[in-house]
């Protein structure tokens, strides 16, 4: 029996948990506690509700080791908090900075990956049944804004999902990560802790405006609240809920069209455009990330008649191809035939006029530089593969990759070794030796300006005043019979 009435925040969490039916008596629930206000408040609220819910509480803490002594102090704070309430502590640590470097990920993405790997391992090894994280309504609004800024579809606009389920959830009641505070404002959470006299830890990195999320939190949202809508946070969170429900409906609708061979051209083109886009994304091979423009290029290739492009380049060396009424994604590993052709032909270097074409003798491999008008571009190409004409010489050298070659990918601060880029993209080692590149030769120096499957460097792309562009690509050379 409760010794005192439940706090209003705890009552709110209880009502939400009952509505969602996330927990049942006897569930072993670990609360993910970083030491910050949100996670400490979630733990305290669930402690209030423990007898009401009939669950077995514990604490989970992952030390990212990113902030030295501060990270260690957070860990010690959480250990003491768990001890003060006689709760079992599940803790682990990881070198997130090293992981980010090895996987070529942002620190934020690496931290999340390591943290959630730890969470799922607790469930998979039977230590707990479910885990609760303390994402708030403010986190939801920030996530929706960030995804809008960076570009996303309606699935991304759903923001943070209220519940994540793993493979165990399909067989038992175990295997879920839940977010009981996703409907509650951060200021309410902090007010609750103040009333309890419960301290929490402040993460100094949350004040670092180098991080985009911090700028959204500290600059953009306050500006939107002040000058546009004082309830912008609530409205963004409402929008996320709407998007989640829409996605649930579309997922159900989409399943009706996922036939054993969903890429039938005639069947695809008879669907509404919204379903075409979703079907393309649904059958996209694992690991391949498609942007909106790439999906549109795929649909243009699918819809094209004779005389229109039959292929388009995607990310990471993938292409999409139409052959008659058949449609297919072509994997980078399918370059094995190309590699064999190149090796058999003793492919050394080719001279590619700009614009123009150069074919590898005796193979079906050709490279071309195509001039296009930006106000009426052809279908079936990726805009990220366009070059400003004035940045290229009248002739390019096409050759295979050499050890030490460097390339300047878009969205990076400096050129990188191609070996590192291949490793990050997981290009098989046996394919790298015959991977084609295009280089410029100026004053005895070479610059790699094109690499198969990679976007054009930012400094070589067309600018606002350019009316024309050059598209560099590899394509099938029908004249050579392949």
3-class DSSP state for residue 341? helix
Give yes or no for a contact between 343 and 434, defined as CB atoms under 8 angstroms apart: yes
Residue 133 located in a structural domain: yes
Whether residues 292 and 210 fall in one domain: no
Give yes or no for a contact between 363 and 341, defined as CB atoms under 8 angstroms apart: yes
* CATH number for the domain harbouring residue 100: 3.40.50.620
Whether residues 272 and 368 fall in one domain: no
* CATH number for the domain harbouring residue 306: 3.30.465
Whether residues 13 and 102 fall in one domain: yes
For residue range 179-238, list pLDDT tens digits in order: 999 999 999 999 999 999 999 999 988 888 888 899 999 999 999 999 999 999 999 999
Whether residues 318 and 345 fall in one domain: no
Domain span at residue 286? 257-330
Residue 385 located in a structural domain: yes
For residue range 414-431, list pLDDT tens digits in order: 788 888 888 777 777 767
Residue 29 located in a structural domain: yes
DSSP 414-474: S-EEHHHHHHHHT--HHHHTT-EEEEEEETTEEEEEEETTSPPPGGGS--TT--EEEEEEE
Residue 60 located in a structural domain: yes
Whether residues 214 and 309 fall in one domain: no
Listed in order, strand segments (DSSP E) in 280-325 are: 311-313, 319-323
Whether residues 43 and 175 fall in one domain: yes
Give the angle 319-449-367 at the CA atoms, nearest 5°.
50
Whether residues 326 and 337 fall in one domain: no
Task: Label residue 464 exposed, middle or buried (CB < 10 Å: 0-12, 13-18, 19+).
Answer: exposed
Q: Which of 172, 205, 240 is the last residue of a domain?
A: 240
Report d(CA 239, CA 140) in Å as an integer. 10
Whether residues 263 and 354 fall in one domain: no
- Which residue stretches of the chain have pLDDT < 70? 1-3, 104, 167-174, 287, 305-308, 316, 332-348, 362-364, 376-382, 411, 413, 430, 444, 475-482
Whether residues 448 and 316 fall in one domain: no
Whether residues 281 and 411 fall in one domain: no
> What residue spans of 283-361 are helical by DSSP H?
292-303, 335-344
Q: Which of 330, 349, 384 is the last residue of a domain?
A: 330
pTM over 0.95: no
Q: Which of 282, 305, 330 is the last residue of a domain?
A: 330
Number of domains in the chain: 3
Residue 245 located in a structural domain: no
Number of residues written out for the chain: 482
């Amino acid at each position: 029996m409760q010794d005192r009435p439940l706090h209003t925040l705890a009552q709110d969490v209880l009502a939400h948990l009952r509505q969602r039916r996330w927990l049942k008596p006897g569930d072993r629930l670990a609360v993910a506690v970083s030491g910050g206000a949100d996670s400490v408040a979630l733990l305290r609220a669930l402690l209030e509700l423990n007898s009401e819910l009939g669950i077995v509480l514990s604490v989970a803490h992952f030390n990212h080791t990113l902030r030295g002594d501060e990270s260690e102090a957070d860990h010690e704070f959480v250990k003491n908090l768990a001890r003060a309430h006689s709760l079992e502590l599940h803790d682990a640590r990881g070198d997130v900075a090293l992981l980010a470097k090895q996987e070529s990920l942002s620190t934020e993405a690496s931290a999340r990956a390591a943290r959630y790997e730890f969470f799922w391992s607790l469930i998979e090894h039977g230590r707990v049944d479910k885990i609760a994280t303390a994402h708030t309504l403010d986190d939801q609004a920030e996530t929706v804004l960030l995804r809008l800024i960076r570009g996303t579809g309606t699935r991304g606009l759903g923001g943070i999902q209220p519940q994540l389920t793993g493979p165990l959830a399909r067989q038992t009641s175990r295997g879920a990560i839940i977010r009981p505070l996703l409907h509650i404002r951060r200021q309410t959470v902090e007010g609750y802790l103040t009333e309890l006299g419960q301290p929490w830890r402040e993460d100094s990195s949350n004040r670092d405006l180098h991080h985009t999320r911090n700028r959204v939190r500290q600059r953009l949202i306050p500006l939107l609240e002040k000058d546009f809508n004082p309830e912008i946070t609530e409205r963004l969170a409402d929008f996320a809920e709407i998007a989640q429900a829409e996605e649930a409906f579309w997922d159900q609708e989409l399943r009706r069209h996922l036939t054993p061979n969903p890429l039938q051209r005639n069947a695809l083109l008879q669907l509404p455009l919204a379903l075409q886009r979703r079907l393309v994304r649904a059958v996209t091979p694992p690991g391949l990330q498609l942007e909106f423009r790439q999906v549109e290029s795929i649909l243009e290739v699918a819809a094209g008649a004779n005389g229109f492009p039959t292929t388009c380049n995607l990310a990471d060396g993938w292409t999409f191809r139409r052959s008659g009424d058949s449609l297919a994604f072509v994997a980078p590993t399918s370059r094995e035939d190309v590699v064999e052709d190149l090796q058999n032909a003793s492919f050394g270097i080719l001279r590619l006029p700009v614009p123009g074409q150069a074919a590898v003798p005796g193979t079906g491999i050709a490279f071309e530089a195509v001039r296009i008008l930006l106000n009426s571009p052809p279908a079936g190409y990726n805009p990220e593969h366009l070059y400003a004409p004035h940045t290229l010489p009248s002739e390019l050298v096409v050759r295979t990759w050499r050890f030490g070659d460097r390339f300047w990918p878009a969205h990076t601060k400096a050129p990188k070794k191609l070996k590192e880029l291949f490793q990050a993209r997981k290009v098989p080692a046996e394919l790298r030796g015959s991977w084609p590149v295009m280089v410029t030769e100026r004053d005895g120096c070479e610059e790699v300006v094109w690499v198969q499957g990679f976007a054009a460097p930012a400094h070589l792309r067309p600018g606002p005043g350019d009316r024309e562009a050059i598209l560099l690509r590899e394509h099938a050379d029908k004249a050579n019979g392949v």
